[in-house]
Amino acid sequence: MSKDWIEVAKADDIPDEGTLLVDCAGEPVCLYKISDGIFATHDTCSHGMASLADGFIVEGNQIECPLHQGTFDVRNGKAVGIPCKVDVRSYPVKVENGAVFIKES
Ligand code: FES
């Protein structure tokens, strides 16, 4: 069953090359703004209880976890740097009239 798009933020609220923690239907979701666009993953690192929104964008398209410096590709949630081995959930994103929507799928 497909689900509706949910408005979670204004695009301008996300800093360039930065992150924004939002709530999506009770789930913590991290938004990222990089040169490729705006992306979203679950906010909790798959390695431990760390908020990816507190991390740092590195290599242009990766989020570095603030706790043990594991990394994920923000475009698809793939774990790309140790100690992270399990992907984080990625969400489809669309931007309309300056508003950011994500879809639970
Ligand atoms: Fe994120 Fe360990 S909690 S790398």
Reported as a single tens digit per residue, the pLDDT across 56-104 is 999 999 999 999 999 999 999 999 999 999 999 999 999 999 999 999 8
Structure confidence at residue 2 as a pLDDT band (50, 70, 90) = low
Sequence letter at residue 87: D
Structural fold of domain 5-103: Rieske Iron-sulfur Protein (2.102.10)
Strands 37-42 vs 27-34: parallel, antiparallel or unpaired = antiparallel
Q: Which of 43, 44, 45 to mutate to test the pocket of ligand 1 (most atoms within 8 A of CB)?
A: 45
According to the model, what pLDDT value does residue 1 have?
47
Strands 93-96 vs 71-73: parallel, antiparallel or unpaired = unpaired
pTM assigned to the model: 0.95
The domain limits of the chain are: 5-103
Ligand 1 site residues (CB inside 6 A) read 45, 47-48, 50, 65, 67-68, 70, 83-84
pLDDT digits (tens, 9 = 90+) for 28-62: 999 999 999 999 999 999 999 999 999 999 999 99
Among 38, 41, 27, which residue's Cα sits nearest to residue 96?
Answer: 38
